Structure 1
């Protein structure tokens, strides 16, 4: 299971708690969360901890701070790991939230590497430049940064994170832009034979190429970029957060959504949600404000109200995707089709050919620009970017070492 799916579950409650502190709703990754994490017993093939080597190729001079936080899968406890991989549960928080223990690890200087150990977690590795992150604890757990809120204490800190799950079945680790595009990095995993799989690197010039693509895209997309008072670019918000913060018009996807609604009022959208089950198909038709899906026997299995842009970008609300075998898989497919703007060009979904993605003038230009600048074309630019296996994820069932490479801002 990719870590973004397991992490969604493990961090759902803590992300929701961010409302109490940051004054903002759940992060985009948490919007897709449904099921609680279940403890996973380790098996002999995977050590209790494995090395994580951080390489600093950023060409920046600031001190780097690293945090390894998440859920300890053997117990279900939330906490953090120190440089040796030792787990520390979070203490009780408060209301208002109280400062969390300093979980930071001094990262490598530019041009250097540092190896720490990661335990069997479903969690995140955060890294920040020049300043420690401000984590707080409520009575229910950890509050995650929510930088779409201008009053969030981490708003003016340059930081990013990777998501991972390490358990008895191996390591899944990905780069993610589901919430924001920020400090560039790549991830990797070393297999027992010494080979390394990596993903997340930008093309040469890709960092500035992405930012310029947003700046040059009409319709308010450049407003997603956040800068510090000194002019430093901190990040570009994902478009759902852009709508939430007022940076992007809430109507930005309306034209495409309306055209989809018109098309499937008189024709059928066929969804085949499981690649290994080609005979499992669902058939969508619009009636009024509702798209009804039937199975092969003609019975209605689920229905969706006409979505708005926020539902599309966040893959939630009117496109909610529960962890079931019908509505969730259909919703995932619809969400990918809306974000990639393939629902009009192909009545059979999912369309898995990246050559067909983002071809309409109304599309998720944030996701389009990210994928265009990735060295391998892979990214997690929205919650269900793994539909069709276009996500920036590496996995090994017997990992010997994990890697995070901090890349140049160019």
Structure 2
């Protein structure tokens, strides 16, 4: 059965921001100047000869209605789905050939721009809406298709556009935005040879990490699964983080973990101590504020379950800090979190090696290799309040 993927933290955060804007009134000035659609220049520098298909899928922030946008940026609501899921309409846009560009338009919603090589993606609709591809599922119809996606939110406050590896590392690409003064910001480019370097490093990493790589029957590498999906589907051991988790629990049974979750609020601190199987947090007045059960690898890699992060001002910010600390293996070397200096990331032998290798091969060091990789601003995101044009560039595989 197909499984719906979670929207990542960026989309949730941007949607929350949009909801606040709608609640408290429309913005003014430059923010209000954001048009109903903006151009997205899609450039194919992949070096591949197979056709490319583009999909622009998302949710209207004003109504919560799910649908898709055509090449002109016109929104179309999905028809009713079924149970079992029924085929979605073909919403593909013919992409540019290698060495060429094509400009489409992005409407104001929170969504994903998918692209696939050589074959169209198979989307389905349930009674609850769109089913996203879930290639950790062996029966997913998109399992043997080479594809990837970018995530974005466009609203009256501007554009947030990112590359993502939260679910998988696959066909390389970068994102960008043109500002009102004509300059551009971009991120997501790999170093020369970076794609193969990530794949080869995972193949050489002991402990089951090689099992993240999925190939087609002809030997074509399609992707590396994110470790959360790999644990969930049984191809990465559930115990892969146990040694580090146990050492963290031992350390903070006799010492205090201090979490200062907001960079602009240095006096807002929470203090964690372990008692048995629980890490309890208090505020500066000594009052209990929240607690966390000892997490497992699935909770850490997915930043969910035992490390759930609601959109509040206490538990969520503490949880996202813990999630970043576990994935980057900084909790033992620094009792003051978040540790935002990348020099200390991934230094323990037990760590998120998937995230470690991806960041190591990014031209600017930035990636979205797990849900809260934006802690300390290490995410591959471009944002502007008055975007003139967006960019997605398909990069070479080698």
TM-score by length of 1: 0.92
* Residue matched to 1:315: 303
* Residue matched to 2:252: 264
* Residue matched to 1:303: 291
Which of residues 354, 372, 389 in structure 2 aligns to 1:366?
354
Distance 1:32 1:304, change over 3 A: farther
Matches within 5 A, 1:346-385: 346-385=334-373
1:131 aligns with 2:131: no
* Residue matched to 1:255: 243
Distance 1:221 1:27 in 2: 23
SS of alignment partner, residue 265 of structure 1: coil
Which of residues 272, 278, 281 in structure 2 aligns to 1:290?
278
* Residue matched to 1:29: 8
Structure 2 contact 5–132 (Cα < 8 Å) conserved? no
1:122 aligns with 2:110: yes
Pairwise CA distance, 1:339: 0.1
- Give per-residue Cα distances to partners, 1:75-94, cap 9 Å, x unaligned: 32110000000110001111
Structure 2 contact 5–133 (Cα < 8 Å) conserved? no
Pairwise CA distance, 1:252: 0.1
Count of aligned positions: 389
- Give per-residue Cα distances to partners, 1:41-74, cap 9 Å, x unaligned: 6853101000000000000011100000001223
RMSD, aligned α-carbons: 1.7
Which of residues 43, 47, 55 in structure 2 aligns to 1:67?
55
Pairwise CA distance, 1:244: 1.1
Structure 2 contact 166–226 (Cα < 8 Å) conserved? yes
* Residue matched to 1:201: 189
Distance 2:70 2:11 in 1: 29
Matches within 5 A, 1:97-112: 97-112=85-100
Structure 1 contact 188–197 (Cα < 8 Å) conserved? yes
Which of residues 310, 316, 333 in structure 1 aligns to 2:321?
333
* Residue matched to 2:391: 403
SS of alignment partner, residue 33 of structure 2: coil
Distance 2:71 2:160 in 1: 20
Distance 1:317 1:71 in 2: 25
* Residue matched to 1:216: 204
Pairwise CA distance, 1:393: 0.3
Pairwise CA distance, 1:30: 7.5
Pairwise CA distance, 1:246: 1.3
1:184 aligns with 2:193: no
* Residue matched to 2:140: 152
Distance 2:354 2:75 in 1: 36
- Give per-residue Cα distances to partners, 1:201-244, cap 9 Å, x unaligned: 00011000101110111101011000000111000000010011
Pairwise CA distance, 1:29: 3.1
Structure 1 contact 227–235 (Cα < 8 Å) conserved? yes
SS of alignment partner, residue 193 of structure 1: coil
1:84 aligns with 2:72: yes
- Give per-residue Cα distances to partners, 1:253-302, cap 9 Å, x unaligned: 00000000000000000000000000000000000000000001111100
Pairwise CA distance, 1:245: 1.4
Runs of 4+ in structure 1 off by over 6 angstroms are 34-37
Distance 2:343 2:396 in 1: 28
Unaligned 5+ residue runs, structure 2? none
TM-score by length of 2: 0.95
* Residue matched to 1:168: 156
* Residue matched to 1:6: none
Structure 1 contact 28–178 (Cα < 8 Å) conserved? no
* Residue matched to 1:17: none
